Amino acid sequence: MAPRNTGARMKLEVLLWTVVLALLALAYLFPKTRWLSLSAIVVAVVAIVALVFVAKREAPMTPQAPTPLNTAQKPVDFEQFHIEKLDKADPEAKSRIRVGDIRFDQIRAEPGAERGSLGTIVARIYNDSAIYTLTDYGYYLVVQDCIKAICTTVFDQRGLTAVSVPPNQARDVRIGIRNDNPRAAVPIKILGTANILLTPTETRAQSTGNAEPTRN
């Protein structure tokens, strides 16, 4: 319906412009009736302007494509926030226990929800410091898939985790397999034999004042 109205309006506009040109010619050829021709020209021009105004009002507006919203937000790392706050309050916390004084042992992988996938890494962390209690530790986790004596790294992860391990003691810890990229949230599957490498990277320890070495 709209295209038909537009075509009729355009024909009427062309006709009016033709009338205007004809009236101009009459005004030039017949000076006695020039005032009448000019009046008719004014009426025709007003009609043309009215047609153009109506056409613009009835023209459909092209909807603009909505701007895509960035819904993928980076998750808040509460452990990192906790470590930064601890370092500001107690700058010496990260130097009380050397990285070489903590170690992981009895490392094993627990299966995930899907068959052949990994879900959680379980290990025992040892605090070999004779004075300080370990409160936080950093780690670097590497998961290798070993097939026919060839091991290939299929996943790695770094993290900071809170813990409480008194001097010369050990605690069992669990490290969840996380995926920071939601677009590639594919479970880690092991086709051969899993080889788990877990290495400490940093430590935090509370101040104990004039602490005495603790013996087993």
What is the residue extent of each domain of the chain? 2-58, 97-205
Report how far residue 43's alpha carbon sits from residue 30's, in angstroms, rounded to the nearest whole number.
19
Question: Which residues does residue 162 pair with via DSSP β-bridges, in sequence order?
Answer: 136
Q: What residue ranges of the chain have pLDDT lower than 70?
A: 1-9, 26, 32, 34-35, 37, 51, 55-79, 179-186, 208-216
Is domain 97-205 given the CATH code 3.40.50 in the classification? Answer: no
pLDDT tens, 101-120? 999 999 998 887 777 778 89
Maximum alpha-carbon separation in the chain: 127
Tell me the whole-structure pTM to 2 decimals: 0.58
pLDDT confidence of residue 98: 96
The pLDDT assigned to 151 comes to 95
Specify whether the CB–CB gap between 157 and 177 falls below 8 A. Answer: yes
pLDDT at site 211: 46
**Residue 144: what residue type?**
Q
DSSP 117: B
Q: According to the model, what pLDDT value does residue 7 have?
A: 66
